[in-house]
Amino acid sequence: MKVAATYSIKGGVGKTSTAVNLAFEAAREGARVLVWDLDPQGAATFLFRVRPKVRGGSRRMVGARGELASNIRGSNLSPVHVVPADFSLRHLDLHLKKRARPSRRLADLLAPVQDLYDIALLDCPPSISLASESVFGAAEALLVPVVPATLATRTLTQLVDFLDDQEDAPSVLPILSMVDRRRRLHKELAESLAADWPELLTTAIPAAAVIERMGLERAPVGISAPSSPATRAYRALWAEVSARLWA
């Protein structure tokens, strides 16, 4: 099982939209997909129409006898299973701090289910924290949405600088998100980001109403708007991501 995380220090950049739509595209190609919602807000849980409930809360889940299997739920998309989030995840750092190897705890929880899935996508809250470090210890790649804004590269630089000090750090794959190429500033910043970050994936996710409507539709854009440019973009993005993961 490959493990990737949608992650950014900055909020509001499209992490959950990326996780949900990539999960759909992976499942569409026949992959067995696990989405682990680690954000207390539970947006991915909501979009997959899963009850927001962690059995015993995050304390029990990451405790000595904790495991994922009892928390895995089916979703409205049968090939996609979900480990839901609830508000107890706001204390995840505190519970991880009590573990002997907190930065490896999420990896340890994923290990028993690795033969059941082809890919696990971890949808993360925006932060740098002990929980983040545990994500870094579990994931092979961080999919980092970056919006075309003047300070966009700052958080990306902060993340890469932090990972430089970590052993076995995951690869960082930046993704241009919420791009409107009709706007000159967006186009210029997208070109600048591509020049500064050779790891940047070539597929850009557009700013699109169908993505904004995901909260109303409670479905990936591949279902609600299958012929849209946004769907084509996420399909192309999954092709890039899967090529990197299985290279």
pLDDT in tens, the chain (247 residues): 999 999 999 888 999 999 999 999 999 999 999 999 999 999 999 999 999 999 999 999 999 888 999 999 999 898 999 999 999 999 999 999 988 889 999 999 999 999 999 999 999 999 889 999 999 999 999 999 998 877 777 888 899 999 988 778 999 999 999 988 777 777 777 787 888 888 999 999 999 999 999 999 999 999 999 999 999 999 999 999 999 999 8
Burial annotation 155-183 (CB, 10 A radius, 16+ → b, else e): bbeebbeeeeeeeeebebbbbbbbbeeee
Q: What is the CATH number of the domain that holds 91?
A: 3.40.50.300
Q: What amino acid occupies position 219?
A: A
Question: How many domains is the chain built from?
Answer: 1
Q: What is the pLDDT of residue 189?
A: 76
In three state form, how does the secondary structure of 187-199 look? HHHHHHHHHHCCC
CA distances from residue 245 to 9, 102, 152, 222 in whole angstroms, order as listed? 22, 25, 25, 22
Q: Contact at 8 Å (CB) between 148 and 191?
A: no
Q: Classify residue 55: in a domain, yes or no.
A: yes
For residue 85, report the phi and psi dihedrals to the nearest 5 degrees: -105, 155
Rg of the chain (C-alpha set): 17
Pair type for strands 80-83 and 73-74: antiparallel
- The answer to whether position 135 is within a domain reads yes
Q: What domain range includes position 106?
A: 2-144+208-245
Does residue 97 sit within a domain?
Answer: yes
Which one, of 211, 222, 225, 241, lies nearest residue 79 by Cα?
A: 222
Residue 51 DSSP symbol:
-
- Does any domain span residue 94? yes
What is the C-alpha separation between 1 and 33, in angstroms, rounded?
A: 9
What pLDDT was estimated at residue 59? Answer: 92
Distance CA 145, CA 174 (A): 6
- Tell how strand 80-83 and strand 141-146 pair up: unpaired
Stated pTM of the model: 0.94
